[in-house]
A and B are shown apart, each in its own frame.
Chain A
């Protein structure tokens, strides 16, 4: 039990992103409401952004600007002193992508609502079957 706890606590960022990801997947699979599915999709994408941001982090390190180093940038630059900015920068792009996806999904949801007057999947399915 204690072993398990240490595993979870020492790698809490990975557990965090996996839990978030599963919450998102659960919403996308189980929920019948299209907007709830879209929210699930957003959570799913956010989980991956969270994963990326967390892997750039280092203990006792600071933001990657030389003068913010432990001795004010007097000495040579040590990579240990600074967190890795690349994953964060990549995620700026991924955030833009997820916002665009959200926009497209919501626009399509509006089109769906105008067409069937409902956002509940089972209602829409029964409407389609009636035709």
Chain B
């Protein structure tokens, strides 16, 4: 059983999609339970895999018994072991947390929603575990296509925003596919480790350089690095809230993981960081992404839209940390993948809770919200503090590593951008705290929101609050156990040649 964890992690959600689709036509209440069972098995297998990795350093699984480079191999090491657990945990927690909200928003389409949900998780988990470059493309498209459909189910301008996302996402994925084509042309292999063993002999080749550039361009579009971010804000704003609290934490972060995988495993650090000019210019690109993302976030007037721009700024953190090319920067970037996924989940879940109770998420609607929804807003404070980077939340420690990486690399532009973005985040979130805590809610608003006994208190149902509290506490736990995560896992994920 435990030998087959790498396969189970993908296969169980994939098969469950068919059952959920069937259950959607027969008995809608079953859909949620099938999805929950499937994702629980994935979570269980991913934790099992991480434990195996801690013991044996690496777990390799040959699909159908075909040895690589002919067959597809799934390979889990320290780097993707930890990302895998984060992804599986987030998709499971979000599923449980949004049950009520899905029932409210998709009364007729529950079966379809959960089918897309588990397929999306299949794709994302697959991207993380696979050790085959072409297999990664297929799983990337599974995740993207279901993501488009989930976003398209939203309100207002969702179909148009989703269609724009389709165009940009397809260009990104196609560029990645083209890059893999050139890699195949140069090496004759698609297995990541096999490519890595052949490449050092032909590093001078222009084909390899072209493959590197094209793959990176594709990944940059997919992770919405500025200036390729235009698809993200609209798609995230109009998407249904149960879907976006899944998509926002996972898609972009997993693409950053893929970039790290390509730099460290496929192209090896000596090639990736070979040219100072290249890595420095990518760090500057990240700096621009951080600054522009933060400033644009400042000019937004609704919660989800503001959070979308923060996601763009956070991508800059990770890309910059990766391209610093030193141990502290990479540690920060990998740690931030996990922390950022958790805190994005936390704040987007709160946005979902707010939309569950209120008509909209513009700042005017948030007045007096601490009184109305104390628990949701309490979790929001934890998430916000983590995004700002206040100890002991996880966000503080990853930012600490990123900043010390920037100082070690002598890249002070990146350090200043990080501090600037933290300050902007302080303004962003304390403005919301002020509106929600001090400004009295408009009177007609209250009477609308009062329940039968005339109480103003009206938080989200318990089923939504408990998972949210777990996520909020998890943020603090991640912060407290940072040292364990770094010394037990992340430091082994970075090759020894990087100092």
Please give the residue numbers on chain A whose beta carbons come within 8 Å of chain B beta carbons, in ascending order.
25, 28, 34, 37, 41, 44-45, 48, 51-52, 55, 87, 90, 93-94, 97, 100-101, 104-105, 107-109, 111-112, 115-116, 124, 128
Contact = CB atoms under 8 A, between A and B. Distances in A.
A45 B160 contact: no
B178 interface: yes
A100 B147 CA distance: 13
B390 interface: no
Interface in B152-187: 152, 157, 159-160, 162-163, 166-167, 170-171, 174, 177-178, 181, 184-185
Contact of B166 (A55, A97, A104, A115): A104
A37 B157 CA distance: 18
A48 B178 contact: yes
Interface residues of B, number: 23
10 contacts: A25-B171, A34-B163, A44-B174, A48-B178, A90-B134, A101-B145, A105-B166, A105-B167, A108-B148, A108-B159
Interface in B120-148: 134, 137-138, 141, 145, 148
A55 B185 contact: yes
Contacts, number: 66
Contacts of A87: 181, 184
Contacts of A116: 160
A104 B184 contact: no
B174 A48 contact: yes
A108 B166 contact: yes
A112 B160 contact: yes
A109 B141 contact: no
B157 A93 contact: no
A100 B145 contact: yes
Contacts of B174: 44-45, 48
Contact of B170 (A45, A51, A115, A124): A45
Contacts of B152: 104, 107-108, 111
Contacts of B171: 25, 28, 41, 44
Chain A binding surface, main DSSP class: helix
B149 interface: yes
Contacts of A28: 167, 171
A108 B162 contact: yes
Contact of B163 (A90, A112, A128): A112
Contacts of A97: 138, 141, 145
Interface of B: 134, 137-138, 141, 145, 148-149, 152, 157, 159-160, 162-163, 166-167, 170-171, 174, 177-178, 181, 184-185
A52 B149 CA distance: 28
Contacts of B137: 94
B40 to A, nearest CB: 28
Contacts of B163: 34, 105, 108-109, 112
A16 to B, nearest CB: 14
A124 B160 contact: yes
B148 A104 contact: yes
B15 to A, nearest CB: 19
Which of A28, A100, A108, A116 has the most chain B CB atoms inside 10 A of its CB?
Answer: A108
A37 to B, nearest CB: 6
A51 B162 CA distance: 28
Contacts of A104: 145, 148-149, 152, 166
Contacts of A55: 181, 184-185
Nearest to A128: B157
A52 B134 CA distance: 12
Contacts of A100: 141, 145
Given A48-B177, A94-B177, A124-B160, A101 B185 contact: no
Nearest to B153: A111
A28 B167 CA distance: 8
B420 to A, nearest CB: 32
A72 B185 CA distance: 29
A101 B178 contact: no
A101 B177 CA distance: 15
Nearest to A51: B181
Contacts of B166: 41, 101, 104-105, 108
Contacts of A25: 171
Which of B149, B166, B167, B174 has the most chain A CB atoms inside 10 A of its CB?
Answer: B174
Contacts of B177: 48, 94
